A = this chain, B = another copy of it.
Amino acid sequence: MEITSINQETTQSNFLKAMFENLKVKIKDVAVKTKKIGEDDPRRILHSIKVGFALTLVSLFYYFRPLYDGFGQAGMWAILTVVVVFEFSVGGTISKSLNRGGATLLAGALGVGAEYLANLCGERGEPIVLAILVFILAAVSTFTRFIPKVKRRYDYGVLIFILTFSLVAVSGARISEIMELAHQRLSTILIGGATCILVSLCIYPVWAGLDLHNLIASNILKLSSSLQGFGSEFADVVSPKDGRDKSYLQVHKCVLNSKSTEETLANFAWWEPSHGRFKLNHPWKLYLNVGGIVRQCAYQIEILSGCITNSKIQVVSEFEQKIQPSCVKMSMECGKALKEVSTSMKNMSIPSSSVALHLINSKAAADELKNIMENYSSSPNEADLQRIMPMLVVASILIDIIKFVEKIVVSVNELAEKAGFKQVKLLHRGIVKPVNNDVDDQLVIEIVETKKPIGVGS
């Protein structure tokens, strides 16, 4: 009997222990995930604090008697504005604030007009006329939200337009001091919007334009890492190292689906004032252009990574041994070219001449490859086509990738020109031949003048 009760107690305490352990693990899990979100982009924590700050500021405005008496119930519109309008980036906040302000002004005026018109129709006709007007305006405005250009830039404005018009048209019938109300509403929205814009501008501003700029540059860098990863993989294919880091096969994945992010950032960037080296008329559209070509190139890399994951690339036959160096070179040189483009873009400088050099090198490798293939049929004792096919496909895709890299370089150059990127001042340039070098490769060293250290073509 005693033993049973002890057993029961033990079971119970074990159960409780297990439950606590479980809870502990779950809480820890959530904490780790939350911490990661903050660490991934610390600006998120700052943004949260900024929203809290702006809201507290406006709430206190609204709380204290003098303002309360001045603005009355309308004071809550200031709070509403802050909550709805404060976006992560400066561009987003400005876009929503201006949309809100403009739409309120326009809809308010139209609402007063509608009210006046309805009043003319007598007490019986008034609600009918108002209902018809609200219906027509709401339906037509809702439809305009489907027009891509309106959706991109004024979606929120149209929403506020419908809202304000309905409120003014309907409530106007009750409150005689409609002009007074309009004045109150507009000034509170102004206070809310101005607070948001000031806080988001003055405290560690997050620029959508800068984000877009960095996103495109880092996407180019990702493709570069992928290509250089492929290059090393091909180079080692004769004596593959076990436990090789295969992460380069995944790097390009996020480029495939970055289109909508790029478009959102470009839309917000359009609203932003001049900041840093981004002027008011910065050619944001060209970034989308570059982004599109980068994505095209990422599709090719996706196929390449599929080839490498699925089929074991082997270098056994004489032919394969012949084309392997060209593949390594194409891949590496394209990777280097993209790396330079990305670095110079990050520094807002015009891509240096070594980009062209890498492109020439990769094209030379492609020509070499074509030459080998042209003479293929002449040599006997070759492996069958079926065996060398994966290597051939890889070679062909690499040749295509060179074309895309060239397109990326051209589009970035166009962007650099239109956006007024700086020419990097070349202090010294020399060609170095490394002592211990298996591949016939040269090291171009450029010593340039720049504020931040930028990667030297290696």
| Chain A interface (Cβ < 8 Å from any Cβ of B) | 33-34, 37-38, 44-45, 47-49, 51-53, 55-56, 59-60, 62-64, 68, 73, 76, 79-80, 83-84, 127, 130-131, 134-140, 142-143, 146-147, 159, 162-163, 166-167, 169-171, 173-174, 256-257, 259-260, 299-300, 302-303, 306, 310, 370, 373-377, 382-386, 389-390, 392-393, 396-397, 400
Contact = CB atoms under 8 A, between A and B. Distances in A.
18 contacts: A52-B136, A52-B142, A55-B135, A56-B138, A59-B134, A63-B127, A73-B73, A79-B163, A79-B167, A83-B162, A260-B260, A299-B302, A303-B397, A373-B385, A376-B384, A376-B386, A377-B384, A392-B396
B370 A375 contact: no
Contacts of A171: 62, 76
Nearest to A45: B143
Contacts of A169: 59
Q: Pick the 9 closest A-B CB pairs, nearest first.
A: A52-B139, A373-B385, A48-B143, A373-B386, A376-B385, A52-B138, A48-B142, A52-B135, A83-B163
Given A59-B169, A79-B167, A83-B159, 13 more contacts: A47-B142, A49-B139, A51-B139, A56-B135, A59-B131, A59-B134, A76-B171, A80-B167, A84-B159, A303-B303, A374-B385, A392-B393, A392-B396
Nearest to A161: B83
Contacts of A63: 127, 130, 170, 173
A33 to B, nearest CB: 7
A44 B143 contact: yes
Contacts of A147: 33-34, 37
A23 B131 CA distance: 33
Contacts of A51: 138-139, 142, 162
Contacts of A302: 299
| Chain A interface SS verdict (over half) | helix
Contacts of A306: 400
B52 A146 contact: no
Given A51-B139, A130-B63, A174-B68, A384 B373 contact: yes
Contacts of A370: 386
Given A131-B59, A303-B397, A373-B385, A139 B79 contact: no
Q: How often does this chain occur in the complex, in copies?
A: 2
Contacts of A34: 143, 147
Contact of A55 (B47, B84, B166, B396): B166
B384 A131 contact: no
A131 B173 contact: no
A390 B393 CA distance: 9
A37 B134 CA distance: 23
A288 to B, nearest CB: 13
Contacts of A45: 143
A388 to B, nearest CB: 9
Contacts of A33: 147
A170 B52 CA distance: 14
Nearest to A40: B146
Contacts of A127: 60, 63-64
A52 B138 CA distance: 5
Contacts of A37: 143, 146-147
Nearest to A404: B306
A352 to B, nearest CB: 29
B393 A131 contact: no
A201 to B, nearest CB: 18
A386 B371 CA distance: 8
Nearest to A65: B174
B385 A167 contact: no
Contacts of A130: 59, 63
Contacts of A140: 48
Q: Max chain B CB contacts within 10 Å: which of A51, A83, A84?
A: A83
A408 to B, nearest CB: 15
A51 B169 CA distance: 17
Nearest to A30: B147
Given A159-B84, A376-B385, A167 B48 contact: no
